[in-house]
Amino acid sequence: MSALETTTRTRDDGAARSPVVLQVRDLTTHFPVRNGVVKAVDGVSFDVERGRTLCVVGESGSGKSVTARSILQIVDAPGRIVSGSMVLHRPDGSKVDLAKLNPRGREIRAVRGAEIAMIFQEPMSSLSPVHTVGDQIMEALRLHLDMSKAEARARCVELLRQVEIPNPDKAVDRYTFEFSGGMRQRVMIAMSLACNPSMLIADEPTTALDVTTQAEILDLIRRLQQQHGMAVMFITHDMGVVAEIADDVIVMYHGKVMEYGPVDQIFHAPKNDYTKMLIGSVLKLEQKAEIRLKRPPRDNAAPPVLEVRNLEMHFGKPGAPLKAVDDVSLKVFPGETLGIVGESGSGKTTMGRCLLRVYDPNGGEIDYRRADGEVVDIVKADKATLKQVRREIRMIFQDPVGSLNPRMTVAQIVGEPLLVNGIASGKELDERVADLLKQVGLEPAWRERYPHAFSGGQRQRIGIARAIALNPRVIVADEATSALDVSLRSQMLDLMMNLQDKLGLSYVFISHDIGVIRYMCDRVAVMYRGRVVETGATEQVCDAPAHAYTQALLSAIPRPDPRARTMHKRHRYAG
């Protein structure tokens, strides 16, 4: 495999160019809107070659998804292809320009699913919930290959076996909601492979999945690509994934191609400024933040501000409870950032919510040391105490859109905790709000606007301003940067660390992203199925993990360096 990869990857030498499957030239797709047009794709050109993987990378709104959909002419209304050509080269030597075909015509439909297949981001909603898996796969077979029902069924079982779905002859008759996220994406892949397409378009196929599941899906796509010799066009925003799987990379920004070249060039010798910035912000998150490097060593003698002992949080029936948090013990020291890392369902969010007693824990203690040295057990605190404690422990949420009331101005949102707790009102409140906005890097004059007038990063800043409004001592940040593009992520983390130094905050930083944890956190706790499997200094846990699960988790994370592809060396944890 390595020999093959080294020859094919040196495409600029002209040594081994694979046959071109799709040649896109000056593709332009417009979305007419009320006041003009949005040029979602603006003069994009590239080649997709047989047996190779082209990654299209860019931040949200870069037009990467629309580019992919333009190829099959399935751009959502009112978008339409304005100009350009997309020449599909068939194995028999004939060519067809997809851009010239009628989007509802017979010819383009014969290409869709048969010659160019596509898989999507959200495997749950991308499959019909009321049709069996087999029904949806067989449909493609019967449509394009004219198979009989029995033949299609046999082929369908075979396809499910190829994508490693257990008991494929039973799985055929099951529904999508009976499968896990990773299994659903396997079904999608089986469906796309049904007619042996010469090209596969994958639109963020692993974004909704955990890293370990992602690694398996990427493995599967690569293996199938080698078996079938497909060309793969892979759309993603994750530079780690790009480094792991790409042969060639297109970097897109605002509908335009910023840079197009072999993966090694993009990562190690980027020419374009935007690419440099993008790679820079990814690499920045691979190491400890500069702000933290400058800090004096922390005084470990101080007693912890939060001490969690044997915390239990169960859901479901008392007889057979789901232990979302199972015997968790943690300490958070003053001025420290404790990272909580884990995959979905590990209980990290539930744990974070228990700290503010959003849920009533079933057992254990959460000792909170107040500024005057008094220790309060949050689990048993009465209403009045809890109210006071909740002023001092605040929360920042993942979704910057959903966590801000769209009918309140920014001034109302940020000022609400002050008003509710009777701390400030009138002119004083207004001044406090202006000051808070300044602290998080927002223009105070914007405070009369509504949240929809702000970008995702700005909205998260509003969330932070609201969290620090009451001068808290501890902030629980639940995936606070996950919804943000990578270039904004480090800015947001830097802001949080500056506030930490200025206000003496402690953070409990919940994330699934090891990069962010490494950048931001002093210590980290790894959660798996409700339990903390490992706790330690960030460097130690990230570089020399002791627990087998941590090792498996870290080995599944794609690193943003195409010269150090490690994912195929990963190991699995069967706990």
Partner 1 sequence: MLRFILSRLVWMVPSLVVVSFLSFVLIQLPPGDYVTTYIATLAASNEVVDQNTAAELRSRFGLDQPMIVQYAKWLGNIVTRGDFGLSFEWQQPVSDLIWERMALTLVLTFSTLLATWGIALPIGVFSAVKKYSIGDYLVTFLSFLGLAIPSFLLALVLMYIAAVEFGQEVGGLFSEAYVQAPWSFYKVLDLLHHLWIPVIILAVSGTASLIRVMRANMLDELSKPYVTTARAKGLSEFRLLVKYPMRLALNPFISTIAWLLPNLVSGSIIVAIVLSLPTAGPLLLQSLMSQDMYLAGAFVLLICTLTLIGSLISDILLALVDPRIRLE
CB-nearer residue toward partner 1: 237 or 559: 237
In the DSSP assignment, the letter for residue 175 is: B
- Among 120, 253, 509, 519, contact with partner 1 (rule: CB under 8 A): 120
Q: How do 80-89 and 506-511 pair as beta strands?
A: unpaired
Pair type for strands 375-377 and 363-369:
antiparallel
The single residue among 6, 177, 227, 388 that binds partner 1, judged by CB under 8 A, is 177
List the one residue from 27, 54, 117, 171 that touches partner 1 (CB under 8 A).
Answer: 117
Per-residue contact track with partner 1, 188 to 227, x per CB under 8 A? x--x------------------------------------
Please state the closest distance from residue 219 (CB atom) to partner 1, in A.
23
- Rule CB under 8 A: choose which of 1, 34, 35, 104 binds partner 1: 104
Q: In angstroms, what is the minimal distance from the CB of 234 to partner 1?
A: 16
For position 435 contacting partner 1 by CB under 8 A, the verdict is no
For residue 139, state whether it binds partner 1 (rule: CB under 8 A).
yes
Binder among 14, 93, 129, 422 for partner 1 (CB under 8 A): 129
Q: Which is nearer to partner 1, 123 or 339 (CB)?
A: 123
* 74 makes contact with partner 1 (CB under 8 A): yes
Closest CA to 166 of 151, 183, 152: 183
CB of 558 to partner 1, least distance (A): 25
Helix (H, G, I), strand (E, B) or coil at 274: helix
Separation CA 31–CA 80 (nearest Å): 7
Q: Which of 33, 130, 293, 320 binds partner 1 (CB under 8 A)?
A: 130
From 125-133, 218-226, 309-317, 433-441, span contacting partner 1 (CB under 8 A):
125-133
Residue 96: is it exposed, middle or buried by C-beta count within 10 angstroms (0-12/13-18/19+)?
A: middle
Q: Does 114 sit near partner 1 (CB under 8 A)?
A: yes
Please check whether residue 8 is in contact with residue 2, taking contact to mean a CB–CB distance below 8 angstroms: no
Q: What number of residues does the chain have?
A: 575
Provide the minimum distance between the beta carbon of 191 and partner 1 in the complex, in angstroms, as a whole number.
Answer: 7
Only segment of 35-43, 110-118, 156-164, 447-455 that touches partner 1 (CB under 8 A): 110-118
- Please give the Cα distance from 215 to 206 (Å, whole number): 9
Residue 349 class from Cβ within 10 Å (0-12 exposed, 13-18 middle, 19+ buried)? Answer: buried
Would you say 142 or 357 has its CB closer to partner 1? 142
* Residue 355: its H or E element: helix 348-355
Contacts of 379 (CB under 8 A, 6+ apart): 311, 357, 360, 361, 364, 365, 366
Element (H, E) at 253: strand 248-253
Q: Name beta bridge partners: 118.
A: 201
Sites of contact with partner 1 (CB under 8 A): 69, 72, 74, 76, 104, 109-114, 117-118, 120, 122, 125-132, 139-140, 143-144, 175, 177-178, 188, 191
